[in-house]
């Protein structure tokens, strides 16, 4: 690759990142429904037409942000299970890492909600495909932890397909986290502390996965 070609490639990546940074900042501030391509262009100090050179439409932009969200979640899960502990302990660590991720990056959690409820397009674009790949890596990390727990005996051997369990755990943890975020005031009105609710939920999860005692 020539020096000029390399510089052009670097410039394209820089411009793409600037657009994404602007779109993500607006997403975090106002919510995705309120974001427009015109706002993104103004925030990035670029023309609207140039935004469309890099992204087909607003949805294409969303999936590019979503790839960032999935990559960060994958890394957070990796960090959560990086230390010593049984597979079951790592499952809990991943669940708590997901809740922490959602509280720290609400717009990423919002994307996760959108991502989980959307079917893949017939002919997905490059950004949607990249987002799906990153999402698959997140699930694969959870599957690895489940399989480790089955091997070390901390997770019941009869839990079934680890992939199905990984999706079930994601659904469970996502639902708990949604309640923590959206219903904190209602829980408090009922005299339930967020930390108590979260701890109780994870105790139930751990109890369900532990091997049954003989006797």
User: Domains in the chain, start-ordered, CATH in brackets?
Assistant: 1-55 (1.10.10.60), 57-209 (1.10.357.10)
The pLDDT value recorded for residue 11 is 86
The DSSP annotation for 118-137 comes to: -PPPSS--HHHHHHHHHHHH
The pLDDT value recorded for residue 67 is 96
- Flag whether pLDDT at 122 surpasses 80: no
CB-based burial, 150-164: b 16+ in 10 Å, e otherwise? beeebbbeebeebee
The pLDDT value recorded for residue 47 is 94
Task: Give 117's pLDDT tier (boundaries 50, 70, 90).
Answer: confident
Task: Give 116's pLDDT tier (boundaries 50, 70, 90).
Answer: confident
pLDDT (mean) for 65-76: 97
What CA–CA distances, in Å, run from 135 to 28, 34, 132, 172? 20, 25, 5, 17
User: CB within 8 A of 214, min separation 6: which ones?
Assistant: none
pLDDT (mean) for 78-85: 95
What's 214's DSSP letter? Answer: P
pLDDT (mean) for 120-142: 89
- Flag whether pLDDT at 50 surpasses 90: yes
């Amino acid at each position: 690759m020539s020096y000029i070609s390399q510089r052009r490639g670097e410039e394209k990546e820089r411009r793409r990142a600037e657009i994404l940074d602007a779109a993500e900042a607006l997403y975090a501030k106002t919510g995705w429904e309120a974001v427009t391509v015109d706002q993104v262009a103004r925030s990035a100090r670029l023309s609207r037409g140039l935004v469309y050179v890099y992204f087909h439409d607003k949805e294409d932009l969303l999936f590019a942000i979503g790839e960032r969200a999935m990559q960060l979640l994958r890394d957070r899960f990796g960090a959560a299970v990086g230390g010593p502990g049984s597979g079951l302990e790592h499952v809990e660590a991943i669940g708590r890492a997901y809740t922490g991720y959602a509280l720290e990056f609400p717009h990423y959690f919002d994307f996760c909600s959108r991502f989980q409820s959307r079917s893949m397009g017939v002919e997905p674009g490059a950004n949607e495909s990249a987002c799906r790949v990153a999402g698959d890596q997140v699930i694969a990390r959870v599957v690895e932890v489940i399989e480790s727990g089955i091997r070390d005996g901390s997770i019941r051997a009869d839990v079934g397909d680890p992939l199905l369990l990984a999706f079930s755990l994601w659904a469970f943890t996502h639902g708990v986290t949604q309640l923590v975020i959206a219903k904190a005031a209602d829980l408090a009105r009922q005299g339930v502390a967020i930390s108590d609710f979260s701890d109780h939920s994870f105790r139930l999860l751990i109890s369900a996965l532990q091997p049954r005692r003989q006797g």
